[in-house]
């Protein structure tokens, strides 16, 4: 008796939405891990003032992105974005927010306040969740709500043990949370949008660099090989994770982005305590445990959701 071959049932292909989510998570992991190592890189720029570093970050990011745009033949898309008034207005807002974030971060790093930076990016996910709730009508289930509550308690504990209101942390958290929201709303390719952002500020950045040179206040090309190499490299280091972040923001819910962001402050926290020997109190430990418990709950929820799909 001949047997009719049985068709094997393969697992269904990932839906477009699932594929986008996986891509978004990968982009997010890359972005937040690179950002987590930023204190090491930017501490190596000691000797340069924060505003000069920001100017170089903007200018060299523009150069790096312009080369990528030309190689990918996206110059026409950049021109179209510059003609789109609504999109351009949104990108003007995101440009100002990210520049303010960079400047505040560098100021904190140069003051030896890596823990302030850590606190800022522990607060940012809460702001992302709040913005998603207020503007994008995103909702959280009970497990997610519990994880947000745990994270909130951890942040409150960190704020309490800081000894004073953490203005630097709040500025960094607010500007970056709003930046993520605006880039999610801007219907533009990640690289094209970031190129436009840097183009908007590059003339001012270059002007500031030239003014410093004429005044003799610049540290660039003044005999320090370390700074001559690292200042232009700051453009690549700046643009690459931002591209990954925007790719993640376009593919993920604000709440998911918010919890991925815990990677960066966790790395900052470990660098502050283990490498830079900043004080690590019992209060810091309690907050750290609260926040990682929140991540654990959120991960359990994500695994359950994946099994049901």
d(CA 201, CA 159): 34
Mean pLDDT of 127-156: 80
d(CA 168, CA 175): 11
Q: pTM of the entire structure?
A: 0.79
> What region, left, alpha or beta, does residue 221 occupy, with left being phi > 0 and alpha being psi -120 to 50 degrees?
left
**Do residues 168 and 120 lie in contact, with contact meaning Cβ atoms separated by under 8 Å?**
yes
State the pLDDT at residue 105. Answer: 93
Structural domain harbouring 254: 19-308
Mean pLDDT of 208-223: 93
The secondary element (H helix, E strand) that includes residue 153 is helix 142-162
pLDDT tens readout for residues 218-262: 999 998 899 999 999 999 998 888 888 878 888 887 667 767 877
Quote the number of domains for the chain. Answer: 1
Instruction: Kindly indicate the confidence band of residue 203, based on its pLDDT and cuts at 50, 70 and 90.
Output: very high
100 in any annotated domain: yes
291 in any annotated domain: yes
139 in any annotated domain: yes
119 in any annotated domain: yes
Query: Residue 1 pLDDT more than 70?
Result: no
pLDDT tens readout for residues 248-306: 888 887 667 767 877 888 899 889 988 988 877 777 788 878 877 887 787 777 667 65
Nearest residue to 283 (alpha-carbon basis) of 273, 274, 275: 273
Paired tokens of 279: 């004080």
Percentage of the chain beyond pLDDT 90 is 41
State the pLDDT at residue 238. Answer: 87
d(CA 17, CA 4): 36
d(CA 212, CA 219): 9
3 in any annotated domain: no
- Apex 128 CA angle, 122 and 130, nearest 5: 110
Paired tokens of 77: 């898309």
**Do residues 74 and 221 lie in contact, with contact meaning Cβ atoms separated by under 8 Å?**
no
Q: How many CB atoms lie within 10 A of CB 179?
A: 25
State the pLDDT at residue 157. Answer: 81
153 in any annotated domain: yes
d(CA 275, CA 280): 12
- Phi and psi at residue 147, to the nearest 5°: -65, -40
- Apex 188 CA angle, 298 and 91, nearest 5: 90
Of 262 and 49, more confident:
49
d(CA 170, CA 121): 9
State the pLDDT at residue 307. Answer: 64
State the pLDDT at residue 301. Answer: 73
Least confident of 9-23, 132-146, 285-299: 9-23
53 in any annotated domain: yes
Of 32 and 166, more confident:
32
8 in any annotated domain: no
């Amino acid at each position: 008796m001949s047997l009719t071959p049985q068709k094997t049932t393969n697992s269904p292909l990932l839906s477009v939405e699932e594929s986008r989510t996986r891509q978004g998570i990968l982009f997010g992991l890359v972005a937040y891990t690179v950002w987590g190592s930023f204190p090491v890189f930017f501490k190596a720029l000691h000797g340069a003032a924060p505003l000069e570093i920001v100017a170089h970050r903007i200018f060299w990011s523009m150069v790096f992105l312009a080369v990528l745009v030309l190689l990918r033949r996206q110059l026409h898309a950049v021109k179209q974005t510059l003609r789109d008034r609504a999109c351009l207005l949104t990108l003007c807002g995101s440009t100002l927010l990210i520049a303010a974030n960079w400047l505040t971060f560098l100021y904190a790093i140069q003051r030896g306040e890596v823990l302030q930076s850590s606190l800022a990016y522990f607060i940012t996910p809460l702001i992302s969740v709040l913005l998603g709730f207020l503007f994008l009508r995103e909702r959280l289930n009970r497990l997610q709500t519990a994880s947000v509550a745990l994270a909130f308690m951890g942040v409150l504990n960190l704020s309490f043990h800081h000894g004073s209101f953490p203005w630097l942390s709040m500025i960094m958290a607010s500007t970056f949370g709003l930046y993520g929201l605006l880039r999610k709303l801007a219907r533009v390719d990640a690289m094209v949008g970031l190129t436009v952002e840097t183009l908007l500020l590059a003339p001012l950045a270059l002007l500031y660099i030239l003014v410093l040179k004429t005044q003799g206040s610049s540290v660039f090309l003044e005999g320090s090989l370390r700074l001559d190499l690292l200042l232009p490299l700051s453009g690549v280091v700046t643009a690459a994770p931002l591209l990954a972040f925007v790719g993640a923001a376009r593919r993920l819910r604000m709440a998911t982005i918010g919890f991925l962001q815990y990677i960066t402050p966790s790395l900052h926290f470990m660098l502050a305590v283990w490498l830079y020997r900043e004080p690590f109190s019992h209060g810091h430990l309690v907050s750290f445990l609260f926040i990682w418990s929140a991540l654990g709950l959120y991960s359990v929820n994500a695994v359950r959701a994946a099994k049901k799909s």
